[in-house]
A and B are shown apart, each in its own frame.
Chain A
Amino acid sequence: MSEIERHSYDVVVVGAGGAGLRAAIGAHEAGARTAVVCKSLLGKAHTVMAEGGIAAAMGNVWSEDNWQVHFRDTMRGGKMLNHWRMAQLHAQEAPDRVWELESWGALFDRTKEGKISQRDFGGHRYARLAHVGDRTGLEMIRTLQQRTVSLGIDVFMECTITELLKDGDRIAGAFGYWRESGRFIAFDAPAVILATGGIGKSFKVTSNSWEYTGDGHALAMEAGAPLVNMEFVQFHPTGMVWPPSVRGILVTESVRGDGGVLRNSEGRRFMFDYIPEFFKAETADTEKEADAWYEDHANNRRPPELLPRDEVARAINSEVKAGRGTPHGGVYLDIASRRSAEFIQKRLPSMYHQFKELADVDITKEPMEIGPTCHYVMGGVEVDPDSQMSKVPGLYAAGEVAGGMHGANRLGGNSLGDLLVFGKRAGEHAAAYAASTAASRPAMADDDIKKAGDAALAPFSRDGGENAYTVHRDLQETMHNLVGIIRTAEEMSRALQRIEEFKTRVAHVSVEGHRQYNPGWHLSIDLKNMLLVSEAIARAALERKESRGGHTRDDYPATDPSWGKVNVLCRLNDSGTGIEVFQQDLPQMPDELKQLFDDGSH
């Protein structure tokens, strides 16, 4: 035990994306001794890939905008399954979080008056997204990174947490390894904030980076905290489809927000054929009206290309299935014929660059080929909306790893705001909680630390077992084919059978080489998390017998109002061998907020 490196903090933040860094800043400023632990180098987190912007009702472009309108858009986009209190806090606090970034050095694009410019996005009534071209996530991560560094917060880079340790019911710390050396490290801390992001690496076609292996989701369940809404996985409508090597890489929604349209192989602007009843009143039904909307929001309705992501992704899926897809199995996204080359290069520089370099396509001259890609998980750790504490005392979650805020479907632009608003809240509340434990600080047991180390090293002790990369590829294939964008009970049951087989295979994975910077070993540990998360998604999706938002059932195609009253939750079963699901009533929205929906639109 003596050789294990140990540290003691008040608050340990796992993850250094937008939520993790904002949480660390919040905890530090509240007086807590704070550490950030992250799998990659600082500044490389998946947040850098966010393109479009941060939704915040600042009213810089449309003075009619306010938090109530943003709240209403968020709830409707989430098919009313969001935790109302999270959606409310988010809409109320997002503007202050954006302005705060500016005071830390962020440089957003400007309006003519010199305020922060705001752009249109799917599901938002007004142009609301603060942005920097199409690299808003990079601006956000760099600003938070620079703030974190200037405050002198300790950052443990390339360090992976494999287990959370408890003292009785309470969190006592976290255990992990340095990727560089393979040596173990343990953090004594009464409060741990999970800010580990999402789960996309369980799927074959995804816009997510290698880190997205569901670590926080799995760590929470193993520590006894349930997950909520795991059946809702967002497939972003526009990922690259060609060449195969880049399949899944994100094409920002800003292309459509800035005038791009979707066409099938017959040249038809097909989204007019897929306007659901729920959004008919606010969606244009002619090309003329849709095109006029960009200049005049007051007298025209929104183009159907800017419906929420779940609607657009399903429509693309249907067009391809009906044989009206492109040669590589996508549809066309065309901005070349609609905007000048100069406009496109100014507004969408990263997209121009990405297509030019990776696909030999000049998006100012030709349409892009795009198709749905696994992008975001709405589900995550069930948290108290105000404090972000899970059901386990001392364990917090913020950002994508937390559930509730986005309901059945997340609107574009609501993720970056989510990271900031709830990151700050988690950090401050975790600091206060840690201070309250001073008289009876929980302690990690040496035996638990030893067990965690043994578990991490197990793949080295096995000879001749399967290679982790092969098991990972097969898991991705299974999730993509059987629990993907359109689901049936029969296919999901098959997926669950396979997942049982994968459990055996993962338990026999062996790795070559030694502990120093060994990706094969790292993957064998991450695989366990991906498997738990995959099971949670499949079980929750099998449980919800309706279609809603990011969950579409071919065998239950309609949205069922009775399912609109309950959440599906997942937790580890008593023997720790798998996941069990249970239902819970949706929290009740107070009457003054209900009135915002009194136009009969829900």
Chain B
Amino acid sequence: MGYDLKMRVWRGDENGGELVDFTVPVEEGEVVLDAIHRLQATQAGDLAVRWNCKAGKCGSCSAEINGRPRLMCMTRLSVFDPAETVTVTPMRTFPVIRDLVTDVSFNYEKARQVPAFTPPEGLKPGEYRMQQVDVERSQEFRKCIECFLCQNVCHVIRDHEDNKQYFAGPRFFIRYAELDMHPLDTLDRKEMLREDQGIGMCNITKCCTEVCPEHIKITDNAIIPMKERVVDVKWDPVTRFIRRRKSPEQPRTPAKRADTAGS
């Protein structure tokens, strides 16, 4: 049942690189990550790739397979013709570190800008009461495994480096939506979402929804409702008066990476 798979894998670093041809034996039922691991073990011991769980739960092994953003661990080789060459390249929106590994620190910066969940004052842990139907909307967004494929595919930042500083991206639009729809959250982040996080730049092409391995309806259930809510706040003086609260203090201590940590 096994066969020899022809692969082209991008190898290189921040200074450039190229597609390298490999032929690797594969077995029935295997996924692209299995083929990459076999390359590492037998032909290219230093081939850089991120992975953790190999079960579609951690969102580490994101890459572009034949040009399509996917998790390598959830892409079965049976979707390709055995004669086809499978090309694996790193996510294009993020700077390459080495081979298939990219610098995704953009996403961690955006995560730091999200003001945390803010429960009502005086509500003690253990006293929270919420109905299942009311938590389900936010639960959909909390399925996110942070593979960042939605960020990678988003036109606003994919080939527009300049936009990155003004645009949080689909992963964080669902995070803002999750908090906005949380039955007990008290903080209004809508003004921030419009002004600092750039939700208005999204033109609803739904590419993010298409690549989401968790099948989260990012555009329909998060971005469109949030665009509507943001407009309500901006244009309706009554709701704006009621909903708006003081802008929160944001935590700004940066997470350390090799390239940023002070020594």
A binding-site residues for B, Cβ under 8 Å? 5-7, 40-46, 48-49, 95-96, 99-100, 102-105, 107, 109-110, 113-115, 117, 132-133, 135, 138-139, 142, 146-147, 149-159, 178, 180-181, 183, 185, 209-211, 242-246, 249-250, 350, 353-354, 357-359, 467-470, 473, 511-514, 516-521
Contact = CB atoms under 8 A, between A and B. Distances in A.
B233 interface: no
Interface in B27-44: 27-31, 34, 40-42
A113 B127 CA distance: 12
B128 A243 contact: no
Contacts of B179: 105
Give the top 4 A-B pairs by smallest Cβ distance, nearest first: A243-B29, A513-B46, A105-B117, A520-B45
A107 to B, nearest CB: 5
B139 A107 contact: yes
Given A44-B58, A114-B129, A114-B130, 14 more contacts: A49-B53, A49-B57, A96-B125, A99-B126, A100-B125, A103-B123, A107-B130, A110-B135, A152-B251, A152-B252, A154-B256, A185-B263, A358-B74, A469-B41
Contacts of B192: none
Interface string B94-116: 00011101001000100110111
B46 A245 contact: no
Nearest to B179: A105
Majority secondary structure, B binding face = loop
Contacts, number: 204
Contact of A44 (B29, B52, B129, B182): B52
Nearest to A153: B253
Contacts of A211: 52
B184 to A, nearest CB: 9
B244 interface: no
Contact of B29 (A105, A242, A516): A242
B202 interface: no
A512 B251 contact: no
B263 A210 contact: no
Contacts of B31: 245, 358
B50 to A, nearest CB: 7
B53 A142 contact: no
Given A103-B119, A107-B138, A142-B142, A468 B48 contact: no
A43 B128 contact: no
13 contacts: A40-B52, A43-B146, A138-B142, A149-B255, A180-B258, A209-B53, A209-B54, A245-B31, A245-B34, A249-B55, A354-B55, A516-B97, A517-B98
Contacts of A44: 52-53, 58-60, 146
Interface in B71-85: 74, 76
B52 A114 contact: no
B40 A103 contact: no
B116 to A, nearest CB: 4
B257 A157 contact: yes
Interface in B240-260: 251-253, 255-259
Contacts of A43: 146
A155 B256 contact: yes
Contacts of B55: 49, 246, 249-250, 354, 358
Interface residues of B, number: 70
B222 to A, nearest CB: 15
A353 B214 CA distance: 9
A525 B126 CA distance: 45
Contacts of B252: 152
Nearest to A109: B132
Nearest to B37: A469
Nearest to A250: B55
A416 to B, nearest CB: 15
Contacts of A513: 45-46
A409 to B, nearest CB: 24
Given A105-B117, A354-B56, A467-B41, A246 B29 contact: yes
Contacts of A243: 27-30
B255 A155 contact: yes
B49 A519 contact: yes
B129 A113 contact: yes
Which among B27, B30, B50, B123 has the greatest number of chain A C-beta atoms within 10 A?
B50
Given A49-B55, A104-B117, A511 B45 contact: yes
A138 B145 contact: yes
B191 interface: no
Given A5-B263, A109-B132, A150-B116, A139 B142 contact: yes
B179 to A, nearest CB: 8
B238 interface: no
Contacts of B112: 149
A139 to B, nearest CB: 6
B210 interface: no
B143 interface: yes
A183 B259 CA distance: 11
Nearest to A473: B41
A181 B144 CA distance: 29
B205 interface: no
A31 to B, nearest CB: 16
